[in-house]
A and B are shown apart, each in its own frame.
Chain A
Amino acid sequence: MTLWFVFALMTAAAMFAVLWPLSRRGPDDGGSDVAVYRDQLDEIGRDRAAGLIGVAEAEAAYVEVSRRLIAAADAAETAMAGRIEPPVWRRRAAVVVAFLLLPAGATALYLTIGSPQLPGERLASRERVAQNSSIANLVTQAEAHLERNPGDARGYEVLAPIYLRMGRFADAANARRRILAISGETAERQTDLGEALTAANNGIVTDEAKAAFERALVLDAEDVRARFFTGIAAEQDGQRDRAAAIWRGMLEKAPPGAPWIQTIQQSMARIGVTPPVAATPPVAAAPGPSADDVKASAEMSEADRDQMIRGMVARLADRLKENSDDIEGWQRLLRAYMVMGERDKATAAAADARRAFASDPDKLRRIDGAIKSMGIDG
């Protein structure tokens, strides 16, 4: 209500600015060119008196300016003579404009582009209320904390998996790097870095990621995840035999009942080493899920896991139908379809995503980039 009261006051001030001059009577009271020429004549007189110009020059200048003065005075007189009292209807028209059009026009325009229902939210008040405790804002607060305390490794350890889950893979990789720099290296930390880097590159084990896994294996030759990913790297390099050898070695040394055995077996099946089982997504290589998720899904039976993943993807797809503005969601969905080998669905989803962002060139560009990088466009 206060807002509208202030708006009304402001509008009244604007109306006043239009109405006030109409209420006063009398002729225009501005300056005139006659005064300017009079000044110029005075100047010439002063210059001559001071000896700055000669008599003859002053005389010539005097004549020239006088001519202008006479012409200006004549024009002013003609104008005065031709003056008539202006008709009243013009002022009335101006009054109507001030009273009706000005407030109506301003209000109409404001209502189409303004947001009177939104309160102002200064930072200080928002921090106190802390009503925005969404993940994104918690992350922002944690980031601010780390900005002030860049040596806090624990903070990064909390943030890194959250980044992975949010799809901010590059940030996750950076956080892993910071942890390595602060707390020194262990096999696990190197593997975490490699995993984040792999996720950031859509499941491709890049040179940098590979270096991290290899470093981890130097530190601990038995690091399971690192060995698994070096196998993936070999597979992606086209060295299926090497991949198979690495994985076979892992299976041989595997403690009985280890939760990851099945994952390895599936990977081997994928490259056609053991008799093929039903095609399943290479879960471990899929970006997004953290190590815990992988472990959890590895403990399930294959059918269950397949079902679980498909369920998650379907839920994501449903959610995106309702809220199509979530660009990270679209990227996750597209990646999931590609990983699951559902190229048709991926293509259809890509088209949907493009439609959803048709009006937002910035996001459209981003989603286009993502689609191209996944090779959906063929």
Chain B
Amino acid sequence: MIPELGHFALVLALALGLVQAIGPLAGAHYRDAALMRMADSTALMQFVFVALSFAALTVCYVTSDFSVANVYENSHSTMPLIYKYTSVWGNHEGSMLLWVLILALFGAAVAAFGGNLPATLKANVLAVQSWIACAFYVFILLTSNPFLRIAEAPLEGRDLNPILQDIGLAIHPPLLYLGYVGFSISFSFAVAALIEGRIDAAWARWVRPWTLAAWMFLTVGISMGSYWAYYELGWGGFWFWDPVENSSLMPWLAGTALLHSAVVMEKRNALKIWTVLLAILAFSLSLLGTFLVRSGVLTSVHTFATDPSRGVFILAILVFFIGGALALFAWRAPLLKQGGLFAPVSREGALVFNNLFLTTACLTVFVGTLYPLALESVTGEKISVGPPFFNLTFAPLFIPLLFAMPFGPLLAWKRGDVLGVAERLMAAFAVGIVAIAVTFVIKGGQSVLAPFGIGLGVYVIGGALIDLVERTGLFRLPLATVRSRAAGLPRSVWGTAVAHIGIAMSLIGIVAQVWADERIVSLKPQETVSIAGYTLSFDRLTQRTGSNFREQVAKFTVRNSGGTVVGTMDPSKRTFPARATTTTEASLLTRGTSQLYLSLGDANDDGSIAVRLYHKPLVLLIWLGSVVMMLGGGLSLSDRRLRVGAPKPAKKAATKPALQPAE
């Protein structure tokens, strides 16, 4: 009964979705309050039904109900309980269900917390959101239905892809989807505003918290995916410029630009075209990513199933929504009146600079991802656009962007003084140069460019701190005053500084990988290998049996240069009989933010075993940086001005530097 309940709930969600897609739209057009109000109740109920459907599928997985084809194909009765939960979305059908669950969640959140939105805007936003939802309900029900049944239930399932049997599957996809799909709400706001023909500063304020929330989740989602790949794939890389990764990076770049544009629009009623286009673009790129991953155009870990009919279906969805939104934009563009004017050197100018670089970076990723695919489909020639392309195009775009980053928050609105800002950033320049020098002294000339990268990161952190120091008056004013100014500072100012520090941390972590060490050796028990001042001795090889796998575990003891034991490492190779596959489980030993990374290769006949050993200096900063970025986003989101539904925002101080001309 449970699977059929889930199935029917999904069908009802579609039915309600259709009502919500049409009723409120008509209501907003004719200003019929009752029809507009319908958006709230249907959005909430739609979420209830999708949640019910998702819960039903989860119950089927947890109880190993193999009469559901999807469960049979992707689950095994002996899997540990946590993977029975995660395998719900560890496959195409289930992950699409998670997709619509989050789509409905954002719709319901707008219905529940969007009390400060004008009724017409809210009705239109929810109607557009429901158009998207309906397209995906139909897609799921007709081509990717997770509730299809098997008349005679098999006794055992075919198991989840062993690479996915990891805690990473519990974290990465839900976060990533919250981000990916979260941009749907920015898209819906943009389309709703275009339908109404009213796009102004107030709109930007309303859309910003939703964009911010999606951006936070996407940031951490991408980064957790990267960490997962780092420890699961067994060769220590954290970003592969894989098309699937790229298709999550593109919405992030567009979304980051959107976030910054929306600030300008809110404050100065300017950059309207940028903001609306970026809102459409961010979600379009999410859809494109979904299409690339699901259509079978790409083959990777993420390709659960390839089925041309699905590809064509998603392509149709893609064309309808992107094409429709852009056509609407072209029609309404004349309504976008130019807002506040500003000089090229100003906060607005700095954010335009930021947008230009982020979108160009996004474009290079787009080209690097799609060009090989296009070439292959036209000429049949297979080329691979790998890291060299991205290192030559993406990195040079980010260097000026990062260099200019500390200037932005320090520049005044309308008309800025770039020399004055540079003067105030002197301390940051100085710290950056010291960092370059120190790095050169410690690491020598191994890499000429890397110390500059470290210097850039330190400078960005310094710049963010200077911004805070200036605004709070630290070192200038009495401590009590500083404290009260710090408390009075809008959280979004703190958020900006924290997020910028986060990206600098990631930068330092990435650059430091130039100094990573690698050893690939064949070891017999009792032999040792040394790396970066650590000595690892191979103690023994043992067998262990897990619930649905057998593994070969190698035990290592790690000593530092003084001979003191600092830890043990136990990398393993797991064999999953149900799928006859083997996975490599790397073992990580964290020292500060650096890591030792050990993974097993093949065993040789003479009793030795091949091991790959890496020392990765400061590697954890890459992911800690993204968590810090999310905290920054969270601070900004908690800004009382942005709290959705707050009847009277209490406080807002300057988001502009003191002693500078403002608005």
Contact = CB atoms under 8 A, between A and B. Distances in A.
Contacts of A2: 1
Given A109-B141, A120-B65, A10 B154 contact: no
A281 B4 CA distance: 52
Interface of A: 2-3, 6-7, 10-11, 13-14, 16-18, 20-22, 24-33, 35-37, 39-40, 42-44, 46-47, 50-54, 56-58, 60-61, 64-65, 68, 72, 79, 83, 86, 90-91, 94, 97-98, 102, 105-106, 109-110, 113-116, 118-124, 126-127, 132, 136-137, 140-141, 143-144, 147, 150
B34 A91 contact: yes
Given A33-B200, A57-B661, A68-B269, A52 B32 contact: no
B273 interface: no
Contact of B16 (A17, A52, A121, A143): A17
Contacts of B523: none
B444 interface: no
Contacts of B40: 21
Interface in B19-46: 19, 23, 26, 30-38, 40-42, 44-46
A16 B203 CA distance: 31
A31 B116 contact: yes
B319 interface: no
A53 B654 contact: yes
A141 to B, nearest CB: 7
Contacts of A22: 34-35, 38
B652 A64 contact: no
Contact of A39 (B11, B649, B661): B649
B662 A94 contact: no
27 contacts: A10-B5, A10-B49, A14-B12, A16-B45, A21-B37, A22-B35, A30-B118, A31-B115, A35-B116, A39-B641, A39-B648, A50-B485, A50-B653, A52-B653, A52-B654, A72-B202, A79-B31, A86-B30, A90-B35, A106-B11, A109-B15, A113-B142, A121-B66, A122-B63, A124-B63, A136-B154, A140-B155
Given A14-B45, A120-B67, A140-B156, 12 more contacts: A10-B12, A10-B49, A17-B16, A18-B38, A42-B649, A43-B653, A61-B662, A120-B2, A121-B65, A122-B65, A123-B63, A147-B78
Interface string B624-663: 0000000000000000010000001101111010110111
A54 to B, nearest CB: 7
Nearest to A83: B31
A30 B7 contact: no
B60 interface: yes
B37 A47 contact: no
Contacts of A27: 33
Contact of A123 (B4, B77, B206, B651): B77
Nearest to A21: B37
B236 interface: no
B310 to A, nearest CB: 13
Contacts of B488: 50
B16 A115 contact: no
Q: Which of A16, A27, A57 has the most CB of B within 10 A?
A: A57
Nearest to B41: A17
A232 B235 CA distance: 47
A27 B151 CA distance: 53
B424 interface: no
Contacts of B662: 47, 53-54, 57-58, 61
Nearest to B64: A123
A43 B151 contact: no
A140 B44 contact: no
Contacts of B36: 28
A134 to B, nearest CB: 8
Interface of B: 1-5, 7-9, 11-12, 14-16, 18-19, 23, 26, 30-38, 40-42, 44-46, 48-49, 52, 60, 63-67, 77-78, 115-122, 141-142, 145, 147-149, 151-156, 200-203, 205-206, 269, 340, 485, 488, 550, 577, 641, 648-649, 651-654, 656, 658-659, 661-663
Contacts of A53: 654, 656, 658, 662-663
Given A13-B45, A98-B19, A86 B67 contact: no
A97 B32 contact: no
B663 A30 contact: no
A175 to B, nearest CB: 12
A-B pairs, top 7 by smallest CB distance, nearest first, are A61-B663, A28-B119, A33-B202, A17-B45, A30-B119, A31-B116, A123-B64
Nearest to A114: B7
Contacts of B149: 115, 118
A114 to B, nearest CB: 5
Contacts of A44: 663
Contacts of B641: 39, 43
A17 B36 CA distance: 13
Contacts of B200: 33, 68, 72
A43 B78 CA distance: 60
Contacts of A127: 155
Contacts of B34: 21-22, 24-25, 86, 91, 94
A66 B11 CA distance: 49
Contacts of B156: 140, 143-144
Contacts of A144: 78, 156
Contact of B23 (A25, A86, A94, A106): A94
A106 B115 contact: no
A28 B65 CA distance: 47
Nearest to A103: B15
Given A17-B41, A31-B118, A46 B653 contact: yes
B552 to A, nearest CB: 14
Nearest to A132: B155
B41 A18 contact: yes
Nearest to B24: A21
Contact of A60 (B15, B206, B663): B663
Contacts of B18: 105
B38 A14 contact: no
Contacts of B66: 121, 123
B183 to A, nearest CB: 23
Contact of B11 (A42, A110, A121, A141): A110
Contact of B42 (A17, A40, A86): A17
A110 B8 contact: yes
Q: Which of A21, A26, A90 has the most CB of B within 10 A?
A: A21
Nearest to A68: B201
A100 to B, nearest CB: 12
A140 B38 contact: no
Nearest to B206: A36
A121 B60 CA distance: 9
Contact of B154 (A16, A18, A90, A140): A140
Contacts of A25: 34
B4 A3 contact: yes
Contact of A21 (B38, B142, B148): B38
Contacts of A115: 4, 148-149
Nearest to B661: A57
A110 B7 contact: yes
Nearest to B38: A21
Contacts of A105: 15, 18
B30 to A, nearest CB: 6
B202 A37 contact: yes
Given A30-B117, A120-B65, A102 B38 contact: no
